[in-house]
Amino acid sequence: MRPDANITDDWELLDDIFEERAAMYEYEGEYTRFVAEEMAAQRLGFDNKWELKQYVQKLKANQK
């Protein structure tokens, strides 16, 4: 899956945004880490964390 059009193709920025949102859900929303990461990935247009991380890996591979 491709994320929403307004998400960058910069893998580092995308990963940073994901981690920041997950931390906010975990600490401010009091969700478990697993749930927080799934929610953060979904807010970025992915079905789950695994899909987001696969996309990040593809971006990394294309930069080489």
CA distances from 5 to 1, 10, 33, 44, 56 (A): 12, 13, 26, 10, 15
**pTM, full prediction:** 0.84
Share of the chain above pLDDT 90, in %: 80
pLDDT in tens, 15-32: 999 999 999 999 999 999
**Overall average pLDDT of the 4-19 stretch:** 83
Residue 46: the pLDDT is 94
DSSP string, 5-63: TTS-S-HHHHHHHHHHHHHHHHHTS---HHHHHHHHHHHTT-SSHHHHHHHHHHHHHHH
Range of weakest confidence among 6-10, 41-45, 46-50: 6-10
- 5 has pLDDT over 70: no
